[in-house]
Homo-oligomer: A and B are copies of this chain.
Amino acid sequence: MVGGGPGAFIGPVHRIAAELDGKIEMVAGAFSQSAERSRAAGVAYKIDPARAYAGYEEMLAAERSRPDAIDFVVIATPNHLHLPVAKAALLAGFPVVSDKPATATYSEVLELATVVRNSGLPYALTHTYAGYSLVREARAICASGELGKIRKIAVEYLQGWLSQPLEATGQKQAAWRADPALNGPGGCIGDIGTHAFHLVEYVTGLEVTDVNATLRSMVPGRRVDDDCTALLQLNNGAQGVLMASQIAAGEENGLRLRVYGEKASLDWKQEDPNRLRIKRVDGPEEIRHAAGGYLSADARAVTRLPGGHPEGYLEAFAVLYREFADGLIAWGSGEAYGLPKTLPGIVAGVRGMRFIERAIESSKSASWVEF
């Protein structure tokens, strides 16, 4: 793992998620750019002290020459390091699992996509929410045509943790996100807007063709956007409304997707992830519960517990790692390259960065722009 020392939010999450299903073990890392702090992280993570490196270049070089080298690299750094680390890892022959967004800017992701393609190596992007069982169910429902032709999409991702200028207090999570040099130009739109955008395309199977966005920075002094609305035109004629905010006071992690078709609609909320609601024009509302025997094969494949035993964020995250591990094993044993289609990869990465770039452009021009 590169980045993600124990002080960080996302590092321990990656560790738990990766190891949850017993298929992956974290054995090495460059957890910090300070050698000392990286070593301390290694101790906390109980890895061999010799494999707690001071930097990713050192890690890649050292691991390449070990007989028991790592099988892949996890990137859990701030955004501006995603490209250099991913590039170096791929060039060194290591598959990559990267936190999102794929890079800091759109031009960077185009470069990365070329490297991935040329390397022939597996690359996955941890759009966590794609790992929830009932997101898979929602995807299966859209594909099945059960909703009829999709007409309208409402996605929202509302948080309130940046309602105050938290970055000014030195809070680590807030500080790098508020600095365009470390984070890239998109604030809220990049941090959580991309999750919402990805969820739309992932679940519906549709593609966004045009965007009309308004990005604002509501907290005085903040250098990136913290509140975003984007109208989306989709390639089947449907329209969508995307709201993302980090100044929605009192909200925690309010990701919600509603998809309206001609005949029915679905509704999924991340904060209540084990229930999926289906409403029909003529008929009672239906709630599908995680682990139900009546769910699609895709949904059942990523449930670990019987109904009524709630699974949450860590389990969803772990689904992505399990799929990556399974893909890696197949790939390692000579099978043609192919991560499961349910696992977000570089294509999702490119589209996500494009979304940020187009949303900023649209907001500047106060008009619709082609995607």
This chain: copies in complex? 4
A-side interface mostly: loop
Q: Which residue of B lies closest to A132 (CB)?
A: B310
| CB within 8 Å of B: which A218-253 residues | 218, 227, 229, 231, 239, 241, 243, 245, 247-253
Knowing A214-B231, A241-B243, A313-B309, the reply to whether A250 touches B285 (Cβ < 8 A) is yes
Report which A residues bind B (CB closer than 8 A): 9, 12-13, 15-16, 19-22, 45-46, 147-148, 151-152, 154, 156, 159-161, 163-164, 212, 214, 216, 218, 227, 229, 231, 239, 241, 243, 245, 247-254, 258, 260-265, 270-274, 278-289, 292-294, 304-315, 366-368
Do residues A216 and B229 form an inter-chain contact, with CB atoms below 8 A? Answer: no
Do residues A16 and B20 form an inter-chain contact, with CB atoms below 8 A? Answer: yes
- Closest Cβ of chain B to A52, distance in Å, is 14
Do residues B281 and A265 form an inter-chain contact, with CB atoms below 8 A? Answer: no
Do residues A229 and B227 form an inter-chain contact, with CB atoms below 8 A? Answer: no
Other 4 A-B pairs with CB < 8 A, given A152-B247, A216-B239, A249-B261: A22-B45, A214-B231, A252-B306, A282-B294
Bound complex: CA A123 to CA B13 (Å): 29
Bound complex: CA A286 to CA B277 (Å): 9
Q: Which residue of B lies closest to A44 (CB)?
A: B22
Could you say which of A9, A254, A285, A311 has the most chain B C-beta atoms within 10 Å of its C-beta? A285
Q: Which residue of B lies closest to A243 (CB)?
A: B241
Q: Which single member of B212, B218, B274, B283 contacts A294 (CB below 8 Å)?
A: B283
Knowing A243-B154, A284-B288, A313-B311, the reply to whether A251 touches B279 (Cβ < 8 A) is yes
Q: 5 A–B contact pairs at CB < 8 A?
A: A151-B227, A160-B260, A252-B306, A284-B288, A304-B314
